[in-house]
Structure 1
Amino acid sequence: MFVYEKKLQYPVNIKQTNPKLAKIIITQYGGPDGELGASLRYLSQRFTMPLPELKGTLTDIGTEELGHLEMIGAIVYQLTKGLTEKEIKESGFEDYFVDHTTGIYPQGASGTPFTAAYLQSKGDAITDLHEDMAAEQKARSTYDNILRFCDDYDVKDAIRFLREREVVHYQRFGENLRLLTDKLDEKNFYAFNPEFDKKCFKNCMKKK
């Protein structure tokens, strides 16, 4: 059960509209390495994690990613609030505007709608944690790319906060991976999952 706190994790107070920048930043709302995919990935993977510490980390980070999704939504909303027709045309925002007006829609910077194909939940703790670490680095890279095109201090301030959190999440997942491999018999784990594969093997042999 989640408890909603009625404030953003980090303040977003943008004074100047910039629809061109909004079209780029929307990718962290519903793009391939965005916050929506991150939250769904972690909150799905947590169920099959074998250790309570791992379940806790994925729940905490998955919940925080929902807060980051809210921040990105607020940034895009403030960058596009009260746009004039002239601003829409001059910024190249008309293709987004035609489909969504200034509503917040989960898509990438290219305009591709969000898809669950962006994430994976494998049920193998080592596999999932490696994916999570890669996902955090891809999100960090995306924020780096956004900052290259951003000259608004108010936007950069919020984006830098989000970028820093991706680095922290990467570190937490790395710690979890070390904890996991310390507690598992790595050789047997990589050869087969003794709680699952042995049963499958026996059932297959019976059928033959």
Structure 2
Amino acid sequence: MFNYRKHLFYPIYVERQDPIFAKVLLEHYAGRNSELSSSIQYLNHRSNMSNRYIRELLGLIAAEELGHMELISVAILKLGGPPLTCINSQGAPWVINYIDQSIDSIDMLQVDVQAETRASQLYRQHLEMTTDPNMKRMINFLITREEVHKRLLQKAQMLICESNSPEEYNELIYEYKMSLQVLE
């Protein structure tokens, strides 16, 4: 299911080291609304999702979130941040309580939509904390991807409530894959 590619989703450049901003980015690495939390939550929700199409979508998004975590880790190190462990910007360790344990399909997707919303909001807050144009571009890229995930998860919710058409579910997967075309 998962493949590792040597190159990053998005190139990471920094103008100069900024250990203070690197510490801020730890929140996206292993905080409550981090890429780590998102990827594990999607994998867990995927395991409990009965709809095979939405299960596939959750797997695809989980893999991408791991890629985002890798982007954040590279940015932190290039900015002169600390060696990476699973801590947030305050130094608190990542905990399993950050992960939703729902098993109902609609509830899982609603929680996932909310998580994408919080992640985007957090990125927007941190966007203003750097003057580095490269970091701003990376954060804007990540906001865009979180918004794509949110839109697709909302569509998945709607489909569960209203559709049994395999074509509509296939379109959901197709939309996800097409959203990646700009990355290649």
Equivalent residue for 2:45? 45
Equivalent residue for 2:68? 68
2:137 aligned partner, one-letter code: D
Q: CA deviation at 1:176?
A: 0.3
Structure 1 gaps of 5+ residues are 82-101, 185-208
State the aligned residue count: 164
Equivalent residue for 1:168? 148
Work out which of the two has the higher radius of gyration on C-alpha atoms and give 1 or 2. Answer: 1
Q: 2:138 aligns with which of 151, 158, 163?
A: 158
Q: 2:101 aligns with which of 104, 121, 138?
A: 121
Q: CA deviation at 1:110?
A: 2.0
Q: 1:131 aligns with which of 111, 116, 119?
A: 111
- Whether 1:29 and 2:9 are equivalent positions in the alignment is no
Q: CA deviation at 1:147?
A: 0.5
Equivalent residue for 1:79? 79
- Whether 1:178 and 2:168 are equivalent positions in the alignment is no
Q: 1:106 aligns with which of 71, 75, 86?
A: 86
RMSD: 1.3
Between the aligned residues of both structures, percent identity stands at 31
The one-character-per-residue Cα deviations of 1:56-109 (angstroms, maximum 9, x if unpaired) are: 11000000000000000000000007xxxxxxxxxxxxxxxxxxxx31122222
The one-character-per-residue Cα deviations of 1:166-190 (angstroms, maximum 9, x if unpaired) are: 1110001000000111148xxxxxx
* Distance in 1, Cα, partners of 2:117 & 2:62: 16
Equivalent residue for 1:10? 10
Structure 2 gaps of 5+ residues are 165-184
Higher mean alpha-carbon deviation, 174-183 vs 70-79, is at 174-183
* Distance in 2, Cα, partners of 1:163 & 1:50: 29
The one-character-per-residue Cα deviations of 1:3-28 (angstroms, maximum 9, x if unpaired) are: 11101101101131000111111100
TM-score by length of 1: 0.76
* Distance in 2, Cα, partners of 1:121 & 1:54: 17
